[in-house]
Amino acid sequence: MLRNAFLAAPFLLFSFVPAQSMAAGIINVAIIGEPPTLDPMASTADVVGMTTQHIFETLFTFDAKWNVVPLLAETMPTVSADGKTYDIDLRKGIKFHDGSTMTSADVVASLERWTKLASRGKQVAPYIASINAQGDNGVRIVLNKPYAPLLSLLAFNNSAAVIIPKADLSDPLQKIIGTGPYMLKERKADQYIQLVRFDGYQPRPESPNGFGGARKAILDEIRFVPVPDANTRLEGAISGQFDYADSLAPEALDRLKGSAASEPVVLKPFGAPVLVMNTKEGVLANKTLRQAIQVALNPEDMLLAAFGNPEFFTVDGALYPEGYIWHTDEGIERYGSGDPEAAAALMKKAGYDGQTPIRILTSRQYEFHYKMAQVAAEYLKAAGFKVDLQVFDWATLTSRRADPKLWDIFITHGPFPPEPVLNGWMSDSYPGWWATPLKAQTVEPFIAEPDPEKRKALWANIQKAFYEEAPVFKVGDFNALGSKKKTLKDFTPSPWPYFWNVSTSN
């Protein structure tokens, strides 16, 4: 009954949007489900970052080539010779949605909250000696030792270091107020999140460039519509109900190509699906059992089940594909082979009792997660594991994974981030809680090293440790399919689709 109620919600929405309003610049974006929060610091869920990046902004962001560029900062920071002090000049006269003006006090308070609350903020927190205002329009961050990924972490829109009015920094957030080109007007759970243009927004002077440069709020309104069922997202795209639909199944490609209303959007490669293991509590706190999982799984069969069309996936154990500066083959000889006998031997070595279930959390809102989970369950059973496959909506899954007592594996995915530290599992506090001496031994030199060429070699050591300790099983690489309405103009495909600088000719 709950699932049927979810499916009905989008159609209730469209019943009360007058046709003449659509022509005024309103778009409807079908997302995979209800975001668990609208606090960008509090979640690493892509659906949160995708939605809230229109409301909140960070000091820095990424251009089209994934270089860090200023956003709320006036320019790139001045960094001391020892790499420990960052002086950041802020843009002047920036307004929050409540009409107040952003000052250094808001920035300092927001960054302090980020280091305490956000998983990515917690990554950098041990390296921060102080964050202080320098007058009303400057901030100084002092590190106790160099930390090369700092600016990338400050730029990322996931578990993001967004700037919020100091007066509103409650936990959880009670007011959704940022500096972005759109502001929250109304949220009806499981029906829509309604954003409207912020007329007080001040775009940057540069030309648009990826997430950087001028962000112009051309549309009057953006409605993010939770549509948990992928087939419903597809039918809404084909019929023209949705201006953009996220995360569609590869088998929908031909139907989209034949649609009069919409066209496919393919990101190649998009990223990697992964099985994250609970290293903190339960049976998979045992490294040998995690290695048994690693050996038992067959990534090619999982990818075939998930995506069907071989054009949409690559069987690849490297954490970054060929063509990325971080690509290395170090450690991938341990990449899954689907060998139940070898897995059974490791299970015996670990003392597995054959009765304790491996609890796998998955969601049908990302249908490819669910299909991979089904195949993974069968391979694990063949090796001798008892499996408990638990299916939840995505918001519930992200809530449950925060409690180490409730699960052993969860399935997720993400793009290939420009800075490896932005991978969720690189944070010791990310669910899965991979935090071992070997990880620290390999990660510490990597994050301290400023030289890009030296960092490449150090990253290879991290990938080797990743495969040795098996905190996560990378399934492979995949391409993502979405759709956009043909009336949507100047849309730029992205792992986290954004709708500033976009117009509609509905």
pLDDT, tens only, 122-179? 999 999 999 999 999 999 999 999 999 999 999 999 899 999 999 999 888 999 999 9
Q: How far apart are CA 489 and CA 479, in angstroms?
A: 23
Q: Which two tokens stand for residue 196?
A: 């409207």
Position 336 scores a pLDDT of: 80
- Judged against a pLDDT cut of 70, whether residue 15 lies above it is answered with no
Q: Are the C-beta atoms of residues 414 and 272 closer than 8 Å to each other?
A: yes
Long-range CB contacts for residues 329-335, cutoff 8 Å, separation at least 24: 330/460, 330/461, 330/463, 330/464, 331/460, 331/463, 331/464, 331/465, 331/466, 331/467, 331/468, 332/463, 332/467, 333/467, 334/291, 334/294, 334/467, 334/468, 334/470, 335/299, 335/467, 335/474
Asked whether the predicted pLDDT for residue 269 surpasses 80, the reply is: yes
Query: What rounded mean pLDDT belongs to the chain?
Result: 92
d(CA 166, CA 175): 11
Q: Where in the chain is the domain with CATH 3.90.76.10?
A: 58-171
Helices (H) and strands (E) in the chain, counts: 15, 20
Q: Where in the chain is the domain with CATH 3.10.105.10?
A: 268-479
H helical segments located in 384-449: 394-400, 437-448
Q: Do residues 90 and 139 make contact, with C-beta atoms less than 8 angstroms apart?
A: yes
- What's the token pair of residue 181? 């080109």
Q: Is a pLDDT exceeding 60 seen at residue 5?
A: no
Cα separation, 395 vs 390, in Å, equals 14
Q: Report pLDDT digits (tens) over 366-383.
A: 999 999 999 999 999 999
Query: Is the confidence at residue 7, as pLDDT, over 70?
Result: no
What pLDDT is recorded for position 318?
Answer: 97
433 and 440 in contact (C-beta within 8 Å)?
no
Residue 24 is predicted with a pLDDT of 52
Q: Which CATH topology does 268-479 take? A: Dipeptide-binding Protein; domain 3 (3.10.105)
CATH class of 58-171: alpha beta
Decide if 156 contacts 185 (C-beta within 8 A).
no
> From CA 504, how far away is CA 254, in angstroms rounded?
24
Structure tokens at 107: 């920035």
Residues of the chain with CATH 3.40.190.10: 1-55+180-261+486-506
Instruction: Retrieve residue 382's tokens.
Output: 């063949």
Q: What is the CATH number of domain 1-55+180-261+486-506?
A: 3.40.190.10
Q: Does position 10 have pLDDT exceeding 70, yes or no?
A: no
Collapse the DSSP code of 315 into the 3-class scheme (helix H, G, I; strand E, B; otherwise coil) and give the result.
coil
